[in-house]
Structure 1
Amino acid sequence: MRWIFRFFKLILILVIAYGIGRFTVVYIDSLVVGERAPYFQQQSDHSIVVRWTTERHSLGVVRYGEDPAYLEFLAIEASPEKDHSVKLTGLKPDTRYYYKVGDIDGFIETDLSLHWFTTSPVPGSKKATRIWAIGDSGEPGEVATQVRDAMYQWVSQHPREGRAPVDVWLALGDNAYRSGSNDQFQAALFDAYPRLLRNTVLWPVYGNHDARRWTYFRIFDLPEQAEAGGVASDTEHYYSFDYADVHFIVLDSQDGDTAADSEMLDWLRRDLAENRRNWVIAAFHHPPYTKGSHDSDDVTDSGG
C-alpha cells in the first residue's frame, strides 16, 4: 500500500508543479512591458482616454489643444506608472485636438501634424459614419498587412478633409494569436497599425485566444460605466457606446453567460430599452452560424 501512497503523492507534486509553472507563464506573458506609442480608448463627445507605456515609472503628462502651435491644456496622471492612462475631459464634440505625451521632465518629440484625435459627434447627430471591422486579426503577416493596406488604399481614394481614415474601428476578437500575450498584442496590433492607432480609437471584442492571458484587460480601458454612452455594464467583458446616430453593443460570447436570465442579457435588454439612436450594431466573437473554418452545427467545435 505504501507504493500507492507514494505514487499519488508524486502525482500531486507534479500537478502542483505544473499549476505553478503554468501560472508563472501566464503571469509573465500578461505583463505590459516595454515602450508603446500613444493610443486611445473610451472616445465620447466630451472625453477620451490616452494610453501609452514607458520603460520606467514616471508621472504621465498629456498636453493637448485645438491649435498645434499652442497646446493650451494639460492633464497629469494621478501617480507614477509605466503603463500610463490619462483621461482628457471637458472636450468639445466633433473636434480635432492635437496632442503629445511625456512626463514632468519633458515630452516625447512629436510631429503634431500626425498626432491628433477627434472627439465623437453629439449622440444622435445625423452624420455619415465610416466603420472598419476586422476579425481574427491576431496573426501578423502578409494577409493582415494586405487587409490593412487595402483599407488604406480605399480611404485614400475616398478622402475626407479633416477626419480620420475611419470613425469607428472594431476588432472582433482573437486580436492576438495564439495566446493573447503582451508580445503577441504588440506584434499583431501595435506594430501592425501604428498609423491608425495614433488617431483612431480601437473598440475590441473579447475572443477565445484573447482569453488565454490577462493582457486584454490590461491594455484596454473599456467603458464599463457608460463613459461613451449606453447603460453601464459594470464589467469590461461587454459594453456599449455611441457614435453619432449609431449605438454599438459589444458582447462577450467567450466567457459571457448567454442564458435568458443572465446578467449580460439582462444588461442588454436594459441597454436596448434606453437606446435612442436610429442605428444599432452588435459585435461579438463567435458567429451564431458558420460553415467556414469552424462548423456551428458541430457541438464539439466551439460549442456548436
Structure 2
Amino acid sequence: MLDRNHIARTGPMLFLKILSLMFALQLTFSVSAQTMADRCTGQDTPVERLLLQQATADSIIIKWRGEADSVCVGTRLELLHIDSTAVAEGNHKVARIEGLEADTKYYYSIGSGPTGKANHYFHTAPAPNSLPEDGNIRLWLLGDSGTAGEIDDEGVSEHPGEALMVKEGYYRFLRQQENYETADLVLLLGDNAYPSGTDQQWQHSFFNIYPEEIQTTTIVPTIGNHEMGMGPFDACPFSELLGGIPGCDAGPVVIPIGGASMASDPMSYDSNGGGPDGTGMPYLDIFTLPSRGEAGGVPSGTEQYYSIDYGIVHIVSLDSQLSVQDPDQLDAMAQWLQDDLIENSLAWTVVIFHHPPYSKGHNHDSDLEDREIWMREKINPIIDEYGVDVVYGGHAHSYERSWYLNGHYGNSESFDSTQHAELDASGNPAYGQ
C-alpha cells in the first residue's frame, strides 16, 4: 500500500522477487465527454476477454474480443452517455475514452447500451501527483501465476485449482483487514501463462481465472520467459532427475521447452517448438501498452517496456526477456530508463521486471543465469542512482526479499553488508516493510 506518509527515497532500495498468485502503435479512436442530455442508444453485448488498460486521470482503454464495436460509459449506472467507437487491434477490439474526471467511478456497456452492469466499472486515476480520495494506492502483484495454462494432451490440468485457491486466499486476507479495499492496479510480473504463453494458455490461466478483476481494475504487465514461447534446452544436466535421458553420454540432448527462448525479436515467438509462428507474441496482442507516453512517463517507442503515472506513483515495466538478449536493445532500454527516471518527480517509484537480479530461489540462481546478471550489471546502477523505491520480480518460484541495497552489482560472494546494505540501529542489514 502506498500512502501519503511516504517520503521519496534516494538511497538504498529494496528488491523483492515474488512468486505469487496473490501477491505496433496502438490505433484507437478517442472521444470526449458529452452532455448528460445525450444517452447511448445501442445494446449491451456479451463479449470475451474484457480488459482495462492505461487508466489515467482523464482517460482509459477498454479492450475485448467479440462482435461489439463500441462502448458507452457514465458515472450513473442507469444513464450512460459517453459513447466511443472501437477499432480492431490484432484479435481484439480497443476503445480509448477521454475527457473523464479524475478519481471517479464510471460504469460501462460494451455495445453502447444506455444502462450498465454493476460489475462493469472502472476508476480513473487520481489527479497527477495526488492520492485518491481514500488516501492510498493499492497494488496487487501476480507473478508466475500461469499454472492453469498447463494442461496435458488429454485436457487434464497439471495444477488443478491452485490458481483459484490462492486468489481466494488473497480475498480472505483482504476481508480480515480493518479497511477492506481492493486493488487500484494489478501488476503482472511475468510467466502469467504457462508453459509457452500461447493465446489458449492465456485464456486458461488469466482470463478464466481473473474475469471480474480484469474488467474492473487496470492491468500493468511485464514480459517473462514463458511469454516468449518455446526454445532449445539441453536436458542432459537434468538426466538423473528425469530418470535418465538417452544419448546424453554422447553430448547434449537439446529439446524444445517452454520458457527457454533466447531470441530478442518478438516475431521469433515459437508456440510449439516447430519454429517461429510468424504472428509474434500473444502477449503483445492481448495487451495495449503505452509506448508513446500515453499514460505518463517518457515515450519508450516499444510495448516491450514502458512507464505509467498513477497519482503519486511512477511505475516502470522493463523487459528482462527479449531486450537483454541484444546489446544494442539493452543499451537502448537502459538509456530510456535513465531518461524516464530523470523526468520523474513523483513520490513513489516502482519498477517491475521478471528476472530477479538477486535470487537464490527454488529453481533459479542469479549468480549463474545471464538475464539476471545482465539486469544486475546494466540496469541496477541506474535504479540505484535515480531513487527507485522498490523492484518487484518473479521467476524463481519462491518468496524472497532483499535488504535495502545500493551499489552491489557482482555475484553473491562479492556482497558485503557494510558496503552494500543499509544498516539498522543494531548494525544489521535493514529489511524493508
TM-score norm. by structure 2 comes to: 0.56
Indicate the residue corresponding to 1:39 in structure 2: 51
Task: State the AA in 1 paired with 2:53.
Answer: Q
Q: Is the 8 A contact 1:135 1:174 kept in 2?
A: yes
Query: Map of 1:226-237 to 2, 5 A cutoff?
Result: 226-237=293-304
Q: Deviations over 1:210-267 (max 9, x none)?
A: 0124100001000111111111101000001111111111100001238697110110
Q: Is the 8 A contact 2:87 2:93 kept in 1?
A: no
Indicate the residue corresponding to 1:154 in structure 2: 173
Check 1:121–1:80 CA distance in 2 against 1; reply closer, same or farther (3 A cut): closer
User: CA offset at residue 300 of structure 1?
Assistant: 7.4
Equivalent-residue separation in structure 2 for 1:112 and 1:169 (angstroms): 22
Check 1:82–1:178 CA distance in 2 against 1; reply closer, same or farther (3 A cut): closer
Equivalent-residue separation in structure 1 for 2:71 and 2:345 (angstroms): 34
Residue segments in structure 1 that go unaligned for 5+ positions in a row: 1-34
* Alignment match of 1:120 (pick from 117, 125, 142): 125
Equivalent-residue separation in structure 2 for 1:302 and 1:110 (angstroms): 49
Q: Is the 8 A contact 2:107 2:121 kept in 1?
A: yes
* Alignment match of 1:175 (pick from 161, 186, 192): 192
**Matched positions, count:** 262
Equivalent-residue separation in structure 2 for 1:294 and 1:81 (angstroms): 34
User: CA offset at residue 295 of structure 1?
Assistant: 1.5
Task: State the AA in 1 paired with 2:120.
Answer: H
Alignment partner of 1:298 is 2:343:
no
Equivalent-residue separation in structure 2 for 1:277 and 1:157 (angstroms): 31
Check 1:69–1:130 CA distance in 2 against 1; reply closer, same or farther (3 A cut): same
Indicate the residue corresponding to 2:323 in structure 1: 256
Check 1:59–1:187 CA distance in 2 against 1; reply closer, same or farther (3 A cut): closer
Check 1:188–1:79 CA distance in 2 against 1; reply closer, same or farther (3 A cut): closer
* Alignment match of 2:341 (pick from 272, 287, 300): 272
SS in 2 for 1:262: helix
Query: Map of 1:1-304 to 2, 5 A cutoff?
Result: 36-54=48-66, 58=67, 60-78=69-87, 83-102=92-111, 112-126=117-131, 127-140=135-148, 141-158=160-177, 165-212=182-229, 213=269, 214-257=281-324, 262-292=331-361, 293-299=363-369
Equivalent-residue separation in structure 2 for 1:254 and 1:301 (angstroms): 7
SS in 2 for 1:267: helix
User: CA offset at residue 177 of structure 1?
Assistant: 0.4
Q: Deviations over 1:8-54 (max 9, x none)?
A: xxxxxxxxxxxxxxxxxxxxxxxxxxx51421111111111111101
Equivalent-residue separation in structure 1 for 2:221 and 2:89 (angstroms): 27
Check 1:300–1:72 CA distance in 2 against 1; reply closer, same or farther (3 A cut): closer
SS in 2 for 1:44: coil
User: CA offset at residue 111 of structure 1?
Assistant: 6.2
Equivalent-residue separation in structure 2 for 1:192 and 1:232 (angstroms): 32
% identity of equivalent residues: 37
Check 1:65–1:270 CA distance in 2 against 1; reply closer, same or farther (3 A cut): same
CA RMSD of aligned residues (A): 2.7
Check 1:69–1:59 CA distance in 2 against 1; reply closer, same or farther (3 A cut): closer
Equivalent-residue separation in structure 2 for 1:144 and 1:81 (angstroms): 28
User: CA offset at residue 94 of structure 1?
Assistant: 0.5
User: CA offset at residue 160 of structure 1?
Assistant: 5.9
Check 1:190–1:249 CA distance in 2 against 1; reply closer, same or farther (3 A cut): same
Equivalent-residue separation in structure 1 for 2:352 and 2:284 (angstroms): 18
Residue segments in structure 2 that go unaligned for 5+ positions in a row: 1-46, 149-159, 230-268, 270-280, 375-433
User: CA offset at residue 73 of structure 1?
Assistant: 1.1
Indicate the residue corresponding to 1:26 in structure 2: none
Q: Is the 8 A contact 1:294 1:301 kept in 2?
A: no
Equivalent-residue separation in structure 1 for 2:71 and 2:143 (angstroms): 31
Q: Is the 8 A contact 1:59 1:79 kept in 2?
A: no
Greater fraction of residues in helix: 1
Equivalent-residue separation in structure 2 for 1:300 and 1:82 (angstroms): 34
